[in-house]
């Protein structure tokens, strides 16, 4: 379901490729022993290597290599057992070396692919071009002083995985789905925390437009797009801008543009143009990186079940629909919680309670699943009480609200408040008789064909029993007595 | 291959070296001399020869993922022309 733009000269197709920078989950930096922890005081996590002091030499962090391989396997990609670190040369105050150590001709991971889930329930495959390891730059603050910039090198030298996609993405919706899926995979793998607010995951978006079926158009690279929503807004803005220019007889200039989230527009970063000559060459401080295929195979053995596999398993073994399965696998903790609840119970019921009730009320209270006052065992217990007819589904919702409030066990709440369902036919029969006696007019109308009144009788009986009468028994008795 | 004056100017600018016209006239030919010297290597037939990253047959050394460095903001900033609150302070670079 490619998203098309209606222009004055017909429809336009948006073609997108993404470059995602994901900070590798490790303790120390790519080439030094300084910490990678977020939020430390300025320049407190900088070694003399990161500050590019003369004579300092980079030594590669083996865990970063393992994480890159693990990610590559999660992206169904080819792992290159031979790769080369090269220097990408440019000058900027937050890059003390004057070059970034990156990979260019020989990246550690080659082509792969992932599946993205679109809002209409369909699935699309997006090609991965490559993944390579590189150093992050430091951070510049420009708003502290009228004529100065402040530089903090804590981030300088942290390991990034740059993940490049093929230009397979059509429109903002697919781009959002791609980014979400990629983040989910990284989080499942434990190779990147995916936190876009802290900058652990950043996206550059390459956008071009064309008439459907035409050759690829000239693309612009948009930087600084730091949330899923910003990706969508930037693509919407940029594709319209390009269509307008072309339809007015102009042409698109290949350039780097900056997304301005405050103004909601992209604008040219002219100064970047001149500098786009990076003069890559192999870093003479580092030998090529080589490892055995057997090591890759070992890592493969330790991969967790990934989101798509989990989704398919949830649909097959629990009989869930695509939507429910997709919601449940969105986070690993959520999927685990659901599986504990569903264990030996009605899975659809479990999915319902987790998605509609628990996630709903957590969301309303601004809480994460990790802070849920109701444990998976407790929610399972509640479902057991419904299943063995101790309480009705309706009463269960009240018990659930109580559990969320107090964190108590469902059985204790039912006991305390006397909410046990009345299944004793005699007791219910008495109430049914009472209701029939009190409403002779309605009884007559019902018997003369006004079927809809049945609900009224059920309601009355439930009301008199304070919701505790077993609905199935009520239905049976009413049907018998009213016929 | 020979570099014209504009290319020499660009190379200097990419390396952030400021050069006057006279200097370009002086250093351009010197740079071309060096390139000419290196170009002699192109005469060697290297078809089907893999690049040799190192003359010694050793593997890249890796380190364990442990934090054992950093925490020396004072040292790191010792040579900074200007600093404030442990930040480097540089002329404004934003557009």
> Quick one: A191 and A329 in the same domain?
no
> Quick one: A11 and A70 in the same domain?
yes
The verdict on a CB contact (< 8 Å) between A282 and B53 is yes
Strand-strand pairing, A159-165 and A148-152: unpaired
Residue B22 is predicted with a pLDDT of 94
Find, in chain B, the residue whose alpha carbon is nearest to that of A155. Answer: B70
CB-CB contact of A259 with A225 (8 Å): yes
B67, B69, B91 ranked by CB distance to A148: nearest: B91
> Quick one: A237 and A352 in the same domain?
no
**Average confidence (pLDDT) over A433-444:** 87
B contacts of A32 (beta carbons < 8 Å): 69-70
Residue with tokens 């609840």: A341
Mutate to test the interface with A, among B57, B88, B92 (most CBs of A within 10 A): B88
A contacts of B91 (beta carbons < 8 Å): 147-149
Q: Is A475 exposed, middle or buried (0-12, 13-18, 19+ CB in 10 A)?
A: middle
Measuring CA to CA, which residue among A257, A96, A142 is closest to residue B93?
A: A142
Among A23-37, A212-226, A448-462, the range scoring the smallest mean pLDDT is: A448-462
A35, A49, A91 ranked by CB distance to B67: nearest: A35
Domain membership of residue A373 as a residue range: 305-417
The verdict on a CB contact (< 8 Å) between A59 and B61 is yes
Instruction: Domains for chain B: give ranges and CATH numbers.
Output: 5-43 (1.10.20)
**Which residue, A299, A318, A346, sits at the end of a domain?**
A299
DSSP string across A345-366:
S-HHHHHHIIIIIIIHHHHHTT
Q: How many Cβ atoms sit within 10 Å of the Cβ of residue A314?
A: 24
Among A345-354, A359-368, B46-55, the range scoring the smallest mean pLDDT is: B46-55
Mutate to test the interface with A, among B15, B54, B87 (most CBs of A within 10 A): B87
Q: How far is B80 from chain A (nearest CA, A)?
A: 11
User: Rounded to whole angstroms, how far apart are CA atoms A163 and A427?
Assistant: 67
- How far does Cα A453 stand from its chain's mean position? 47
The verdict on a CB contact (< 8 Å) between A47 and B70 is yes
Q: What single DSSP character describes residue A440?
A: H
- pLDDT surpasses 80 at A424: no
A contacts of B74 (beta carbons < 8 Å): none
> Quick one: A260 and A310 in the same domain?
no
**Average confidence (pLDDT) over A342-362:** 94
Q: How far is A179 from chain B (nearest CA, A)?
A: 28
Highest-pLDDT range among A3-7, A396-400, A446-450: A396-400
Residue A420 is predicted with a pLDDT of 80
Residue A51 is predicted with a pLDDT of 95
Q: How far is A316 from chain B (nearest CA, A)?
A: 40
Q: How far is B45 from chain A (nearest CA, A)?
A: 21
> Quick one: A456 and A312 in the same domain?
no
> Quick one: A149 and A268 in the same domain?
yes
> Quick one: A282 and A160 in the same domain?
yes
A contacts of B84 (beta carbons < 8 Å): 150
A contacts of B88 (beta carbons < 8 Å): 43, 93, 150-153
Find, in chain B, the residue whose alpha carbon is nearest to that of A98. Answer: B15
Find, in chain B, the residue whose alpha carbon is nearest to that of A271. Answer: B95
Confidence of residue A26 (pLDDT cuts 50, 70, 90): very high
- pLDDT surpasses 60 at A1: no
> Quick one: A286 and A336 in the same domain?
no
Confidence of residue A144 (pLDDT cuts 50, 70, 90): confident
Find, in chain A, the residue whose alpha carbon is nearest to that of B10. Answer: A274
> Quick one: A248 and A316 in the same domain?
no
Confidence of residue A2 (pLDDT cuts 50, 70, 90): low
Residue A78 is predicted with a pLDDT of 98
> Quick one: A238 and A376 in the same domain?
no
A contacts of B65 (beta carbons < 8 Å): 26-28, 61-64
What are the two backbone dihedrals, phi and then psi, of residue A75, each rounded to the nearest 5 degrees? -95, 15
**Which residue, A271, A299, A327, sits at the end of a domain?**
A299
**Which residue, A399, A417, A435, sits at the end of a domain?**
A417
Highest-pLDDT range among A33-47, A445-459, A463-477, B45-59: A33-47
pLDDT tens-digit series, residues A452-478: 888 888 888 888 888 788 888 888 888
Find, in chain B, the residue whose alpha carbon is nearest to that of A286. Answer: B60
Q: How far is B65 from chain A (nearest CA, A)?
A: 6
pLDDT tens-digit series, residues A263-280: 999 998 865 555 568 999
pLDDT tens-digit series, residues A335-351: 999 999 999 899 999 99
- How much of chain A exceeds pLDDT 90, in percent? 69
CB-CB contact of A444 with A424 (8 Å): no
Find, in chain B, the residue whose alpha carbon is nearest to that of A94. Answer: B88
Rounded to 5°, angle at Cα A155 from A151 and A159: 150
Q: Which residues contact A107 (CB under 8 A, 6 or more apart)?
A: A80, A83, A130, A131, A132
The verdict on a CB contact (< 8 Å) between B60 and A32 is no
User: Rounded to whole angstroms, how far apart are CA atoms A31 and A29?
Assistant: 6
Count interface pairs A-B at CB distance under 8 A: 136
Residue A137 is predicted with a pLDDT of 95
- pLDDT surpasses 80 at A430: yes
CATH of the domain at A477: 1.10.10.410
Q: How far is A305 from chain B (nearest CA, A)?
A: 25
User: Rounded to whole angstroms, how far apart are CA atoms A467 and A425?
Assistant: 15
Residue A270 is predicted with a pLDDT of 65
Confidence of residue A4 (pLDDT cuts 50, 70, 90): confident
> Quick one: A230 and A263 in the same domain?
yes
**Average confidence (pLDDT) over A183-205:** 94
Reading the block at residue A24, the tokens are 């590798």
Residue A247 is predicted with a pLDDT of 93
Find, in chain A, the residue whose alpha carbon is nearest to that of B68. Answer: A33
pLDDT tens-digit series, residues A280-303: 999 999 999 999 999 999 999 999
> Quick one: A123 and A172 in the same domain?
yes
Number of domains in chain A: 3
The verdict on a CB contact (< 8 Å) between B65 and A26 is yes
pLDDT tens-digit series, residues A310-338: 999 999 999 999 889 989 999 899 999 99
| Average pLDDT over chain A, rounded to an integer | 92
A27, A64, A290 ranked by CB distance to B66: nearest: A27
């Amino acid at each position: 379901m490619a998203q098309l733009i209606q222009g004055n000269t017909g429809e336009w197709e948006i073609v997108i490729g993404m470059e995602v920078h994901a900070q590798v989950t490790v303790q120390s930096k790519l080439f030094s022993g300084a910490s990678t922890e977020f939020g430390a005081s300025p320049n407190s996590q900088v070694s003399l290597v990161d500050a590019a002091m003369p004579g300092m030499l980079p030594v590669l962090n083996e865990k970063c290599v393992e994480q890159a391989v693990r990610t590559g396997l999660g992206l169904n990609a080819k792992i290159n057992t031979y790769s080369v670190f090269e220097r990408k040369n440019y000058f900027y105050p937050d890059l003390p070396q004057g070059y970034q150590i990156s990979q260019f001709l020989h990246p550690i991971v080659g082509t792969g692919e992932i599946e993205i889930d679109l809002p209409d329930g369909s699935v699309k495959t997006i090609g991965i071009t490559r993944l390579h390891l590189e150093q992050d730059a430091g951070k510049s603050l420009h708003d502290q002083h009228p004529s100065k910039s402040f530089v903090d090198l804590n981030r300088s030298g942290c390991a990034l995985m740059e993940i490049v996609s093929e230009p397979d993405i059509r429109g903002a919706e697919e781009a959002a789905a791609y980014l979400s899926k990629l983040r989910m995979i990284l989080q499942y793998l434990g190779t990147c925390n995916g936190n876009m607010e802290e900058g652990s995951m950043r996206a550059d978006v390459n956008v071009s437009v064309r008439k459907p079926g035409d050759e690829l158009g000239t693309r612009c690279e948009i930087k600084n797009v730091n949330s899923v929503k910003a990706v969508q807004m930037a693509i919407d803005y940029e594709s319209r801008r390009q269509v307008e220019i072309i339809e007015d007889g102009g042409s698109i200039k290949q350039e780097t543009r900056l997304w301005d989230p405050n103004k909601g527009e992209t604008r040219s970063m002219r100064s970047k143009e001149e500098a786009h000559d990076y003069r890559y060459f192999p870093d003479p401080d580092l030998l090529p990186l080589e490892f055995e295929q057997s090591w890759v195979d070992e890592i493969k053995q330790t991969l967790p079940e990934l989101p798509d596999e989990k989704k398919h398993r949830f649909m097959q073994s629990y009989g869930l629909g695509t939507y429910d399965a997709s919601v449940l696998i969105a986070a690993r903790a959520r999927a685990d919680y659901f599986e504990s609840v569903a264990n030996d119970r009605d899975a659809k019921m479990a999915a319902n309670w987790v998605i509609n009730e628990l996630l709903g009320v957590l969301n309303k209270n601004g809480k994460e699943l990790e802070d849920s006052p109701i444990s998976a065992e407790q929610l399972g217990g509640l479902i057991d009480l419904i299943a063995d007819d101790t309480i009705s589904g309706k009463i269960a919702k009240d018990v659930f609200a109580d559990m969320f409030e107090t964190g108590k066990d469902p059985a204790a709440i039912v006991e305390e408040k006397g909410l046990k369902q009345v299944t004793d036919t005699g007791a219910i029969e008495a109430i049914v008789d009472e209701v029939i006696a009190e409403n002779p007019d309605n009884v007559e109308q019902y018997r003369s064909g006004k079927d809809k009144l049945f609900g009224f009788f059920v309601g009355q009986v439930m009301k008199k029993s304070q919701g505790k009468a077993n609905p199935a028994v009520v239905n049976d008795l009413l049907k018998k007595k009213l016929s | 291959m020979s570099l014209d004056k504009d290319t020499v100017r660009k190379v200097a600018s990419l390396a952030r070296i400021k050069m006057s016209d006279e200097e370009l006239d002086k250093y351009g030919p010197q740079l071309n001399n060096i390139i000419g010297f290196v170009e002699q290597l192109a005469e060697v037939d290297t078809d089907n020869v893999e690049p040799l990253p190192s003359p010694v047959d050793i593997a890249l050394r890796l380190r364990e993922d442990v934090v054992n460095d950093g925490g020396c903001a004072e040292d790191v900033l010792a040579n900074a022309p200007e600093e404030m609150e442990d930040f480097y302070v540089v002329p404004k670079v934003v557009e």
